Amino acid sequence: PLWWGVVVLAFGAVSSVLGVLYALAEHDIKRLLAWHTVENIGIILMGVGVGMAGIALHHPVIAAVGLLGALFHLLNHALFKGLLFLGAGAIIFRLHTRDMEKMGALAKRMPWTAGAFLIGCLAISAMPPLNGFISEWYTYQSLFSLTRVDAIIPRLAGPIAIVMLAITGALAAMCFVKVYGVSFCGNARSEKADHAREVPWPMVIAMGLLALFCVLAGIGANLVAPHLLHIAQSLSSQETLAVAQGATLMPGDAQQAVLTPSVVFLLLIAMPVLPGLFWYINRHTRGNFRRTGDAWACGYAWEKGMAPSAGSFTQPLRVVFGPLYRMRKQLDPAQPLQRSLGGVTVAATRTEPFWDDKIILPLVGITKRIARAVQYLQSGDFRLYCLYVIAALVILLLTIAV
Protein backbone atom coordinates (compact mmCIF):
# COMPACT_ATOMS: atom_id res chain seq x y z
CA PRO A 1 0.00 0.00 0.00
CA LEU A 2 0.98 3.63 -0.58
CA TRP A 3 0.98 4.59 3.09
CA TRP A 4 3.60 1.95 3.87
CA GLY A 5 6.00 3.40 1.30
CA VAL A 6 5.47 6.90 2.73
CA VAL A 7 6.12 5.57 6.26
CA VAL A 8 9.40 3.95 5.15
CA LEU A 9 10.36 7.19 3.38
CA ALA A 10 9.62 9.19 6.55
CA PHE A 11 11.60 6.80 8.75
CA GLY A 12 14.53 7.04 6.35
CA ALA A 13 14.46 10.84 6.26
CA VAL A 14 14.30 11.17 10.05
CA SER A 15 17.00 8.53 10.57
CA SER A 16 19.37 10.25 8.15
CA VAL A 17 19.06 13.65 9.84
CA LEU A 18 19.24 12.35 13.41
CA GLY A 19 22.15 10.05 12.59
CA VAL A 20 24.30 12.85 11.23
CA LEU A 21 23.32 15.21 14.08
CA TYR A 22 24.51 12.72 16.70
CA ALA A 23 27.64 12.05 14.66
CA LEU A 24 28.48 15.75 14.73
CA ALA A 25 28.55 15.74 18.53
CA GLU A 26 30.93 12.77 18.81
CA HIS A 27 34.63 12.89 19.70
CA ASP A 28 35.07 9.11 19.49
CA ILE A 29 35.97 8.39 15.87
CA LYS A 30 34.42 4.89 15.83
CA ARG A 31 31.18 6.01 17.49
CA LEU A 32 31.04 8.84 14.96
CA LEU A 33 31.31 6.39 12.07
CA ALA A 34 28.67 4.18 13.70
CA TRP A 35 26.24 7.13 13.81
CA HIS A 36 26.95 7.75 10.13
CA THR A 37 25.84 4.18 9.50
CA VAL A 38 22.45 5.21 10.92
CA GLU A 39 22.49 8.18 8.54
CA ASN A 40 23.30 6.10 5.48
CA ILE A 41 20.77 3.40 6.33
CA GLY A 42 18.26 6.25 6.43
CA ILE A 43 19.28 7.31 2.92
CA ILE A 44 18.89 3.71 1.72
CA LEU A 45 15.42 3.55 3.30
CA MET A 46 14.45 6.75 1.48
CA GLY A 47 15.16 5.03 -1.84
CA VAL A 48 13.26 1.94 -0.72
CA GLY A 49 10.32 4.11 0.37
CA VAL A 50 10.20 5.82 -3.03
CA GLY A 51 10.32 2.41 -4.71
CA MET A 52 7.43 1.11 -2.61
CA ALA A 53 5.39 4.26 -3.27
CA GLY A 54 6.09 3.98 -7.00
CA ILE A 55 4.88 0.38 -7.06
CA ALA A 56 1.70 1.33 -5.16
CA LEU A 57 1.06 4.25 -7.55
CA HIS A 58 1.69 2.03 -10.61
CA HIS A 59 4.68 4.18 -11.65
CA PRO A 60 7.29 1.51 -12.38
CA VAL A 61 9.89 4.05 -13.57
CA ILE A 62 9.79 5.94 -10.27
CA ALA A 63 9.91 2.65 -8.39
CA ALA A 64 12.87 1.36 -10.40
CA VAL A 65 14.91 4.57 -10.00
CA GLY A 66 14.20 4.74 -6.26
CA LEU A 67 15.22 1.12 -5.75
CA LEU A 68 18.28 1.66 -7.95
CA GLY A 69 19.36 4.56 -5.72
CA ALA A 70 18.87 2.39 -2.63
CA LEU A 71 20.83 -0.55 -4.07
CA PHE A 72 23.62 1.68 -5.35
CA HIS A 73 23.94 3.40 -1.97
CA LEU A 74 23.96 0.01 -0.25
CA LEU A 75 26.95 -0.99 -2.38
CA ASN A 76 28.66 2.37 -1.93
CA HIS A 77 28.15 2.34 1.82
CA ALA A 78 29.94 -0.99 2.02
CA LEU A 79 32.89 0.54 0.16
CA PHE A 80 33.39 3.93 1.80
CA LYS A 81 32.33 2.89 5.30
CA GLY A 82 34.68 -0.09 5.15
CA LEU A 83 37.44 2.28 4.05
CA LEU A 84 36.71 4.72 6.88
CA PHE A 85 36.63 1.99 9.53
CA LEU A 86 39.94 0.63 8.24
CA GLY A 87 41.36 4.16 8.42
CA ALA A 88 40.06 4.59 11.96
CA GLY A 89 41.55 1.22 12.85
CA ALA A 90 44.92 2.31 11.45
CA ILE A 91 44.84 5.42 13.64
CA ILE A 92 43.88 3.42 16.73
CA PHE A 93 46.60 0.88 15.89
CA ARG A 94 49.25 3.61 16.20
CA LEU A 95 47.78 5.97 18.80
CA HIS A 96 45.82 3.49 21.00
CA THR A 97 42.98 5.99 21.37
CA ARG A 98 39.67 6.71 19.65
CA ASP A 99 39.48 10.29 20.93
CA MET A 100 39.96 12.78 18.07
CA GLU A 101 41.07 15.40 20.59
CA LYS A 102 44.27 13.38 21.07
CA MET A 103 45.13 13.14 17.36
CA GLY A 104 46.21 15.87 14.95
CA ALA A 105 48.99 16.30 12.35
CA LEU A 106 48.64 12.67 11.26
CA ALA A 107 48.74 13.61 7.57
CA LYS A 108 52.47 14.32 7.96
CA ARG A 109 53.21 11.11 9.81
CA MET A 110 50.72 8.72 8.14
CA PRO A 111 50.43 10.11 4.58
CA TRP A 112 49.06 6.96 2.92
CA THR A 113 46.41 6.50 5.58
CA ALA A 114 45.56 10.20 5.34
CA GLY A 115 45.13 10.03 1.55
CA ALA A 116 42.89 6.96 1.66
CA PHE A 117 40.86 8.37 4.55
CA LEU A 118 40.38 11.64 2.66
CA ILE A 119 38.86 9.75 -0.29
CA GLY A 120 36.51 7.99 2.13
CA CYS A 121 35.51 11.33 3.68
CA LEU A 122 34.77 12.79 0.25
CA ALA A 123 32.80 9.71 -0.82
CA ILE A 124 30.58 9.58 2.27
CA SER A 125 30.03 13.35 1.96
CA ALA A 126 28.67 12.75 -1.59
CA MET A 127 31.34 14.83 -3.30
CA PRO A 128 31.39 14.36 -7.11
CA PRO A 129 32.45 12.29 -8.91
CA LEU A 130 32.90 9.69 -6.17
CA ASN A 131 30.47 6.83 -5.63
CA GLY A 132 28.49 8.38 -2.78
CA PHE A 133 27.45 11.27 -5.01
CA ILE A 134 26.12 8.97 -7.74
CA SER A 135 23.80 6.95 -5.50
CA GLU A 136 22.47 10.07 -3.78
CA TRP A 137 21.95 11.65 -7.22
CA TYR A 138 19.68 8.75 -8.20
CA THR A 139 17.85 9.10 -4.88
CA TYR A 140 17.33 12.81 -5.50
CA GLN A 141 16.00 12.15 -9.00
CA SER A 142 13.51 9.59 -7.70
CA LEU A 143 12.30 12.09 -5.08
CA PHE A 144 11.92 14.80 -7.73
CA SER A 145 9.88 12.35 -9.82
CA LEU A 146 7.69 11.64 -6.80
CA THR A 147 6.64 15.31 -6.70
CA ARG A 148 4.95 14.98 -10.11
CA VAL A 149 2.50 12.18 -9.31
CA ASP A 150 -1.23 12.79 -8.91
CA ALA A 151 -1.62 11.56 -5.31
CA ILE A 152 -1.36 14.41 -2.81
CA ILE A 153 0.50 12.57 -0.01
CA PRO A 154 3.60 11.58 -2.05
CA ARG A 155 3.59 15.01 -3.71
CA LEU A 156 3.95 16.52 -0.23
CA ALA A 157 6.35 13.87 1.07
CA GLY A 158 8.73 14.25 -1.88
CA PRO A 159 9.78 17.90 -1.29
CA ILE A 160 10.07 17.37 2.47
CA ALA A 161 12.33 14.35 1.90
CA ILE A 162 14.43 16.34 -0.60
CA VAL A 163 15.01 19.09 1.97
CA MET A 164 15.92 16.57 4.67
CA LEU A 165 18.30 14.76 2.33
CA ALA A 166 19.95 18.08 1.45
CA ILE A 167 20.32 18.94 5.16
CA THR A 168 21.81 15.50 5.76
CA GLY A 169 24.35 15.99 2.97
CA ALA A 170 25.41 19.42 4.24
CA LEU A 171 25.80 18.22 7.83
CA ALA A 172 27.70 15.11 6.70
CA ALA A 173 30.17 17.27 4.79
CA MET A 174 30.61 19.48 7.86
CA CYS A 175 31.11 16.44 10.07
CA PHE A 176 33.89 15.01 7.94
CA VAL A 177 35.59 18.38 7.65
CA LYS A 178 35.75 18.15 11.44
CA VAL A 179 36.96 14.54 11.41
CA TYR A 180 39.73 15.06 8.87
CA GLY A 181 40.73 18.52 10.09
CA VAL A 182 41.00 17.58 13.75
CA SER A 183 42.55 14.14 13.19
CA PHE A 184 44.96 14.72 10.31
CA CYS A 185 45.64 18.47 10.11
CA GLY A 186 46.99 21.12 12.45
CA ASN A 187 49.36 20.31 15.29
CA ALA A 188 49.72 17.06 17.18
CA ARG A 189 47.42 17.06 20.21
CA SER A 190 49.17 14.32 22.17
CA GLU A 191 52.58 12.74 22.60
CA LYS A 192 51.55 9.60 20.70
CA ALA A 193 50.24 11.66 17.79
CA ASP A 194 53.53 13.53 17.67
CA HIS A 195 55.46 10.25 17.30
CA ALA A 196 53.00 8.34 15.10
CA ARG A 197 54.21 6.54 11.99
CA GLU A 198 52.61 4.85 9.00
CA VAL A 199 50.91 1.49 9.50
CA PRO A 200 52.26 -1.73 7.90
CA TRP A 201 51.86 -2.10 4.13
CA PRO A 202 49.13 -4.79 4.21
CA MET A 203 46.89 -2.31 6.05
CA VAL A 204 47.78 0.44 3.58
CA ILE A 205 47.04 -1.81 0.59
CA ALA A 206 43.62 -2.76 2.01
CA MET A 207 42.70 0.91 2.40
CA GLY A 208 44.11 1.73 -1.02
CA LEU A 209 41.98 -0.91 -2.74
CA LEU A 210 38.77 0.36 -1.15
CA ALA A 211 39.72 3.95 -2.00
CA LEU A 212 40.29 2.89 -5.61
CA PHE A 213 36.89 1.16 -5.71
CA CYS A 214 35.23 4.34 -4.38
CA VAL A 215 36.74 6.30 -7.27
CA LEU A 216 36.00 3.67 -9.92
CA ALA A 217 32.40 3.13 -8.76
CA GLY A 218 31.86 6.86 -9.22
CA ILE A 219 33.62 7.40 -12.54
CA GLY A 220 32.38 4.10 -13.94
CA ALA A 221 28.83 4.41 -12.60
CA ASN A 222 27.52 3.99 -16.15
CA LEU A 223 28.86 0.41 -16.01
CA VAL A 224 27.66 -0.37 -12.49
CA ALA A 225 24.15 1.13 -12.60
CA PRO A 226 22.73 -1.13 -15.38
CA HIS A 227 23.64 -4.27 -13.40
CA LEU A 228 21.90 -2.96 -10.27
CA LEU A 229 18.97 -1.87 -12.44
CA HIS A 230 18.20 -5.50 -13.30
CA ILE A 231 17.46 -6.15 -9.60
CA ALA A 232 15.36 -2.98 -9.32
CA GLN A 233 13.41 -3.88 -12.47
CA SER A 234 12.62 -7.34 -11.14
CA LEU A 235 11.09 -5.73 -8.04
CA SER A 236 9.22 -2.94 -9.85
CA SER A 237 8.01 -4.88 -12.94
CA GLN A 238 9.61 -2.27 -15.21
CA GLU A 239 11.12 -3.95 -18.26
CA THR A 240 12.30 -1.06 -20.48
CA LEU A 241 14.31 1.58 -18.66
CA ALA A 242 17.63 3.24 -19.50
CA VAL A 243 19.68 4.70 -16.65
CA ALA A 244 22.92 5.04 -18.62
CA GLN A 245 23.72 5.87 -22.22
CA GLY A 246 27.40 5.71 -23.01
CA ALA A 247 29.19 7.61 -20.24
CA THR A 248 26.05 9.57 -19.33
CA LEU A 249 23.71 8.73 -16.47
CA MET A 250 19.99 9.50 -16.58
CA PRO A 251 17.08 8.77 -14.20
CA GLY A 252 14.97 7.04 -16.84
CA ASP A 253 14.16 10.28 -18.67
CA ALA A 254 16.96 12.23 -20.36
CA GLN A 255 14.81 15.38 -20.33
CA GLN A 256 14.71 15.38 -16.53
CA ALA A 257 18.43 15.32 -15.73
CA VAL A 258 21.68 13.84 -16.98
CA LEU A 259 25.10 13.40 -15.41
CA THR A 260 28.46 12.42 -16.89
CA PRO A 261 30.80 11.47 -14.01
CA SER A 262 33.86 11.07 -16.25
CA VAL A 263 33.51 14.66 -17.51
CA VAL A 264 33.11 15.90 -13.94
CA PHE A 265 36.27 13.99 -13.01
CA LEU A 266 38.23 15.60 -15.84
CA LEU A 267 36.96 19.05 -14.88
CA LEU A 268 37.99 18.52 -11.27
CA ILE A 269 41.46 17.52 -12.44
CA ALA A 270 41.67 20.59 -14.70
CA MET A 271 40.45 23.04 -12.05
CA PRO A 272 43.83 23.38 -10.25
CA VAL A 273 45.62 24.20 -13.53
CA LEU A 274 44.89 27.95 -13.49
CA PRO A 275 45.73 28.48 -9.79
CA GLY A 276 48.84 26.34 -10.26
CA LEU A 277 49.92 28.44 -13.24
CA PHE A 278 49.35 31.63 -11.24
CA TRP A 279 51.43 30.25 -8.35
CA TYR A 280 54.24 29.21 -10.71
CA ILE A 281 54.41 32.64 -12.36
CA ASN A 282 54.43 34.47 -9.02
CA ARG A 283 57.04 32.16 -7.57
CA HIS A 284 59.47 32.79 -10.43
CA THR A 285 58.81 36.51 -10.85
CA ARG A 286 58.63 37.65 -7.23
CA GLY A 287 60.94 35.13 -5.64
CA ASN A 288 60.07 33.37 -2.44
CA PHE A 289 57.06 35.32 -1.16
CA ARG A 290 55.93 32.76 1.44
CA ARG A 291 56.44 33.43 5.11
CA THR A 292 56.13 30.84 7.81
CA GLY A 293 55.41 31.38 11.47
CA ASP A 294 52.97 30.73 14.26
CA ALA A 295 49.29 31.24 13.68
CA TRP A 296 47.88 34.67 14.56
CA ALA A 297 46.31 34.52 18.04
CA CYS A 298 44.98 38.09 18.42
CA GLY A 299 48.24 39.34 19.93
CA TYR A 300 48.63 36.50 22.42
CA ALA A 301 51.39 33.92 22.34
CA TRP A 302 50.30 30.95 20.25
CA GLU A 303 49.66 27.69 22.10
CA LYS A 304 48.60 24.33 20.71
CA GLY A 305 45.51 24.33 22.89
CA MET A 306 44.14 27.30 20.93
CA ALA A 307 43.53 25.16 17.84
CA PRO A 308 39.88 24.35 17.06
CA SER A 309 38.77 21.13 18.71
CA ALA A 310 36.14 18.60 17.69
CA GLY A 311 33.82 20.08 20.31
CA SER A 312 34.31 23.74 19.45
CA PHE A 313 33.90 23.09 15.72
CA THR A 314 30.34 21.83 16.15
CA GLN A 315 29.34 23.85 19.23
CA PRO A 316 26.98 26.20 17.32
CA LEU A 317 25.04 23.24 15.90
CA ARG A 318 24.82 21.59 19.32
CA VAL A 319 23.28 24.81 20.64
CA VAL A 320 20.77 25.06 17.78
CA PHE A 321 19.74 21.40 18.01
CA GLY A 322 20.10 21.26 21.80
CA PRO A 323 16.66 19.67 22.44
CA LEU A 324 17.74 16.61 20.43
CA TYR A 325 20.79 16.04 22.64
CA ARG A 326 21.02 14.85 26.21
CA MET A 327 24.27 15.81 27.88
CA ARG A 328 25.73 13.32 30.36
CA LYS A 329 28.07 15.12 32.75
CA GLN A 330 31.03 13.45 34.40
CA LEU A 331 33.03 15.06 37.21
CA ASP A 332 36.54 13.91 38.06
CA PRO A 333 37.41 15.46 41.44
CA ALA A 334 41.03 16.37 42.00
CA GLN A 335 43.10 14.26 44.37
CA PRO A 336 43.76 15.62 47.89
CA LEU A 337 47.35 16.53 47.03
CA GLN A 338 46.19 18.31 43.88
CA ARG A 339 43.56 20.22 45.84
CA SER A 340 46.16 21.35 48.33
CA LEU A 341 48.27 22.61 45.44
CA GLY A 342 45.38 24.47 43.86
CA GLY A 343 44.00 21.70 41.67
CA VAL A 344 40.42 21.98 40.47
CA THR A 345 37.68 19.56 39.61
CA VAL A 346 37.79 18.43 35.98
CA ALA A 347 34.40 18.32 34.28
CA ALA A 348 33.52 16.54 31.06
CA THR A 349 30.31 16.25 29.09
CA ARG A 350 29.25 13.54 26.71
CA THR A 351 26.34 13.64 24.32
CA GLU A 352 23.93 10.74 24.64
CA PRO A 353 20.79 10.27 22.52
CA PHE A 354 17.71 10.67 24.68
CA TRP A 355 16.01 8.07 22.44
CA ASP A 356 18.01 5.45 24.35
CA ASP A 357 16.34 6.30 27.66
CA LYS A 358 12.88 6.99 26.25
CA ILE A 359 12.49 4.23 23.64
CA ILE A 360 15.38 1.77 23.23
CA LEU A 361 16.12 0.90 26.87
CA PRO A 362 12.42 0.44 27.81
CA LEU A 363 11.97 -1.90 24.82
CA VAL A 364 15.09 -3.83 25.84
CA GLY A 365 13.71 -4.14 29.38
CA ILE A 366 10.36 -5.45 28.10
CA THR A 367 12.15 -7.97 25.87
CA LYS A 368 14.25 -9.21 28.79
CA ARG A 369 11.17 -9.65 31.00
CA ILE A 370 9.39 -11.62 28.27
CA ALA A 371 12.50 -13.76 27.76
CA ARG A 372 12.70 -14.53 31.49
CA ALA A 373 9.00 -15.41 31.53
CA VAL A 374 9.32 -18.01 28.75
CA GLN A 375 12.82 -19.32 29.46
CA TYR A 376 11.37 -22.47 31.06
CA LEU A 377 10.47 -23.61 27.52
CA GLN A 378 14.19 -24.27 26.98
CA SER A 379 14.33 -27.34 29.18
CA GLY A 380 17.06 -29.23 27.35
CA ASP A 381 14.77 -32.27 26.94
CA PHE A 382 14.83 -33.45 23.31
CA ARG A 383 11.43 -35.16 23.69
CA LEU A 384 9.84 -31.88 24.75
CA TYR A 385 11.33 -30.14 21.71
CA CYS A 386 9.75 -32.79 19.45
CA LEU A 387 6.44 -32.08 21.18
CA TYR A 388 6.85 -28.38 20.36
CA VAL A 389 7.31 -29.22 16.67
CA ILE A 390 4.21 -31.44 16.61
CA ALA A 391 2.12 -28.81 18.44
CA ALA A 392 3.24 -26.10 16.03
CA LEU A 393 2.35 -28.34 13.06
CA VAL A 394 -1.12 -29.06 14.49
CA ILE A 395 -1.77 -25.36 15.08
CA LEU A 396 -0.63 -24.55 11.54
CA LEU A 397 -2.94 -27.20 10.03
CA LEU A 398 -5.89 -25.97 12.10
CA THR A 399 -5.20 -22.40 11.00
CA ILE A 400 -5.16 -23.42 7.33
CA ALA A 401 -8.34 -25.45 7.77
CA VAL A 402 -10.20 -22.56 9.36
pLDDT tens digits, 15-61: 999 999 989 888 899 999 999 999 999 999 999 999 999 999 888 88
pLDDT score of 330: 53
Gap between the Cα atoms of 33 and 156, Å rounded: 32
pLDDT tens digits, 250-300: 776 656 677 777 777 777 777 777 777 777 777 776 655 566 777 777 777
Q: Please give the model's pTM, rounded to 2 decimal places.
A: 0.80
Task: Kindly state whether residues 317 and 390 are assigned to the same domain.
Answer: no
pLDDT tens digits, 101-112: 889 889 999 999
Residue 30 in domain: yes
Task: Kindly state whether residues 274 and 362 are assigned to the same domain.
Answer: no
Task: Kindly state whether residues 95 and 199 are assigned to the same domain.
Answer: yes
| Banded model confidence at residue 307, pLDDT cuts 50, 70, 90 | confident
Pairing label, strands 346-353, 244-245: unpaired
Residue 301 in domain: no
Task: Kindly state whether residues 125 and 25 are assigned to the same domain.
Answer: yes
Q: Give the list of residues 6+ apart from residue 253 with CB closer than 8 angstroms, or none.
A: 61
The domain of 58 spans: 2-278+309-321
Task: Kindly state whether residues 30 and 149 are assigned to the same domain.
Answer: yes
Helix, strand and coil percent figures for the chain, each rounded to 5:
70, 5, 25
Q: What is the mean pLDDT of the chain?
A: 84
Query: Is there a contact between 336 and 310 (Cβ–Cβ < 8 Å)?
Result: no
Task: Kindly state whether residues 272 and 367 are assigned to the same domain.
Answer: no
pLDDT exceeds cutoff 90 at 7: yes
Residue 143 in domain: yes
pLDDT exceeds cutoff 60 at 340: no
Number of domains in the chain: 2
Task: Kindly state whether residues 91 and 227 are assigned to the same domain.
Answer: yes
pLDDT tens digits, 183-240: 998 888 888 888 889 999 999 999 999 999 999 999 888 888 888 888 888 877 766 7
Task: Kindly state whether residues 269 and 357 are assigned to the same domain.
Answer: no
Q: Give the list of residues 6+ apart from residue 92 with CB closer than 8 angstroms, or none.
A: 29, 30, 98
Task: Kindly state whether residues 353 and 246 are assigned to the same domain.
Answer: no
Task: Kindly state whether residues 316 and 378 are assigned to the same domain.
Answer: no
**For residues 191 and 306, which has the higher predicted lDDT (pLDDT)?**
191
pLDDT exceeds cutoff 60 at 336: no
Task: Kindly state whether residues 360 and 265 are assigned to the same domain.
Answer: no
pLDDT score of 317: 78
pLDDT tens digits, 116-168: 999 999 999 999 889 999 999 999 999 998 888 888 998 899 999 999 999 99
